[in-house]
Amino acid sequence: MSKSIVECVPNFSEGRDSKILAEIVNSIESSGGVEVLDVDSGHNTNRTVVTFIGSPDDVEEAAFQGVSTASQLIDMRKHQGEHPRVGATDVLPFIPVSNVSMEECVTMAERVGGRIGKDLEIPVYLYEQAASSPGRRNLAAVRVGEYEGLREKIKDPLWRPDYGPSVHNPMAGATCVGAREFLIAYNINLNNTDRRYANDIAYALRERGRWKRTGNIEPFYYKGKVVQFSQDGKFPCGPCDFIADSFGDLEKHYSEEHGGDLSERYESLGINHKHPSGPVFDDGSFKEVKAIGWVIDEYDRAQISINLTNYKVSSPHQVLEAARREADKRGVVVTGSELIGLIPFEALKEAGVYYRKRAMKSTGIPVCDLLETAIQSMGLRDVSPFDIEDKVIGLPASGGPLVNLNVTNFVNEVSRDTPAPGGGSVAALAGALGGALTSMVANLSVGKAEYDSEYDRLCDISCQAQTIKDLLVAGVDADTMAFDSVLAGMRMPQDSEEERTLRLAVIEDGYKRATLVPLETAKLCRRAMELADEMADLASSTMMSDIGSGCLMAEAGLRSAIYNVRINLPHIVDLKFQKEVQSQIIELLSNAERFRDSVGEKVEATLDL
C-alpha cells in the first residue's frame, strides 16, 4: 500500500557555483531516508530548486540540513539575480503527496521553521497554508522589498518573524517556510504554431481569465517608474522600453522577452494588478490554474503552458477536456499533453477513473491499467516519453520478494525445508485470488446491455474487490515478516533479570504482531466472501462457477489464516488480548459459514445436476 510521502522543494539563492550546490544537495541526501528527484539551476536567476521526497520525519531532517548548509555557504550580501528572494534559502515548502494531510505538513513547517529560527538564528516567515495571518499567506507579499529591504522591514511590528530573531541576518537573510498543495506543471499541445490560439485558450481556462477594461487607465508606479499603463491608453512594459497597443500584446511581449507571467511579476513587486485603476479581468473557468500560451520550436507546435496549483480543486484531466472544447470552438485540435516534472498518483488515478466512467467501462481494474488509461486518454506521450515509474509520485508499493516471484518459483519456495513462507502467506494468496475472481465477474458484466442499470453497483463491487485483492497480495510478504520480531526477541541476551524481562516483553509483542497479521488476513477474506455473495445476486448463470470458486478460495484463506492466529495465541500472556482475539475468531468463522452457504445455494441453483 502507499507509504506516507512528503515532497519538499527548497529554493536556494545560488545558481552559478556548482561546488556550493553540490554541498547543499549532499547535505540533503546524506541526512538519510530521502530521495532527491531533481536539481534545477538557473544562471540568470542565480537560483536553484531542489526537489526531494521521503517520509515526514526524514524530510524534516533533510530540509533542516539543507537550510543549515546553505546558510553557511551562501552570502546574500553578494547575491544578484533576476528572481525575487529574501534569503539564502528563500522558500521551503512542504507538500503532501501520499497518506499525509495538509494539516500534518503545516505542523512540519512549524517545527522546521522553529528549529531554523532557534538553531540557525535566521528570521522565519510562515506562508501559504502555514501562514500565521492572512496577510502572510501570499508569498509575494512576504517577499516585498526582497533581501535589500529586509533590514528595515523586519523592524516593523507587522513583519515580526514567526520564528527566530527580529534582527537582520546579513549573510542568510530570511527564510519563508510553508505548506502548500502539489503543483503540477502541465502543457497542452495544439496542432499548429500559432501562439494566439494557445493564449486565447489559456485565457479561457486560467483563474485570472482575460483583461477586459478599455480606455484610459491610471498608471501603476513602482520605484518612481510607470510599470503598466500610461494616460494615453498605451501599455508600457516597465523592464524595457517596449510599449504595446493592447494588454494581450503586453503579456505576449513579456512572456517572450522576459520569460514569465506578467501578473506574477506585479505580485513579486508588491503591486496589486487588480487595483481599480489597473486592469479588470473576466474570470476564467478554473480556480487554482495559471496559464499562458507559447510556441516550442523543438516540438514545432504551440502549447498552453499551465500550472495547476491545487489539483484537488482543478485536475489535469478536467482542464484538458475544457481545452479540447475551447480548441474545437476555434477549429484547432489538441493533439495531446505533456507533464513537466512529476504528478501525484491520486491525480493520474482519478483521470483513469474519469475516462473509464466516460466510456461506461469498469473502474475496478488493476491500478497499472487505470494509469495506462489516463496516459493514453490524455496523450501524455504525444511529444515526450512518459514512464510511470519516473513520472508518478506516491505509487503504491509493487510488492515484496515473495509476490514478485512467478507462480512456479513461489510454489517451489513454499515446498522447501524452511518455515517461511508458510500457511499464513498461502492463506493471503488464496484470499487474494478469491477477491480477484469476484472483481473479474463484475468487470465482465459491465458493458452488457442487461447490466446498464447496475453500472455504479458493479463498479463499486469491482473496486472494493480490487482493494481487498491488493491488501491480501501485500499480506503474502507481511505474514512472512511478522514472525521476524519474535525471532529478534529470542536472540536477545538474558544474562540479567532486567535483560530477561525486556526479552520476554519483546517476544510477547512479537507474538501479538504475528497474531494480528493473519487476523487481518482473515478479516479481508471475510469481506471477499461478502462481496462474492453480493455479486452472486447479479452475475449471469454462465459466470456463477467463478463466483463460487472465488468464495471458496476466500473461505480457505480465512480458515487457514485463523489456524495461524490460533497457533500463536498460547504464547501470549496478555489474557485480555487473548479473549478479544478469540471473540473475533468465533465471529469470523460464523460469517464464513453464512456467506459460503449463501453463495453455494445461489451457485447450485444455476447448475445442472
Active site residue 232: no
- Per-residue DSSP letter, 207: T
Residues in contact with 10: Cβ distance below 8 Å, sequence separation at least 6, in sequence order: 49, 50, 63, 66, 67, 70, 89, 91, 92, 93
- Indicate which residue of 17, 75, 79, 83 is catalytic: 83
Q: What would the grid cell of residue 173 be?
A: 537573510
Please, what is the Cα angle at 515 between 510 and 516, to 5 degrees? 100
Distance of CA 364 to the CA centre of its chain: 21
Paired sense of beta strands 175-179 and 124-128, if any: parallel
What's the rounded Cα separation, in Å, for the pair 94 and 107?
A: 10
Amino acid (1-letter code) at residue 85:
R
Beta strands in 55-111 (DSSP E): 89-98
What's the rounded Cα separation, in Å, for the pair 188 and 331?
A: 16
Please report where in the chains the cell 456467506 appears, as a residue.
595
**514 near 556, Cβ under 8 Å?**
no
**Max Cα–Cα distance, the chain, nearest Å:** 95
- Indicate which residue of 162, 479, 533, 546 is catalytic: 479
Residues in contact with 467: Cβ distance below 8 Å, sequence separation at least 6, in sequence order: none
Establish whether the linkage from the previous residue to 421 is cis, with ω within 30° of 0: yes
Please report where in the chains the cell 503598466 appears, as a residue.
228
Q: 54-69: buried (b, 16+ CB within 10 Å) or exposed (e) per residue? A: bbbebbbbbbbbbbbb
Active site residue 43: no
What's the rounded Cα separation, in Å, for the pair 47 and 457?
A: 52
**145 near 159, Cβ under 8 Å?**
no
What's the rounded Cα separation, in Å, for the pair 96 and 368?
A: 22
What's the rounded Cα separation, in Å, for the pair 490 and 588?
A: 31
Amino acid (1-letter code) at residue 490:
M
**39 near 6, Cβ under 8 Å?**
no
Please report where in the chains the cell 510599449 appears, as a residue.
243
Amino acid (1-letter code) at residue 507:
I
What's the rounded Cα separation, in Å, for the pair 199 and 334?
A: 14
> Using CA atoms in the order 14, 20, 22, 26, what is the torsion angle rounded to 10 degrees?
-100
Question: Which residues are catalytic, by number?
Answer: 83, 479
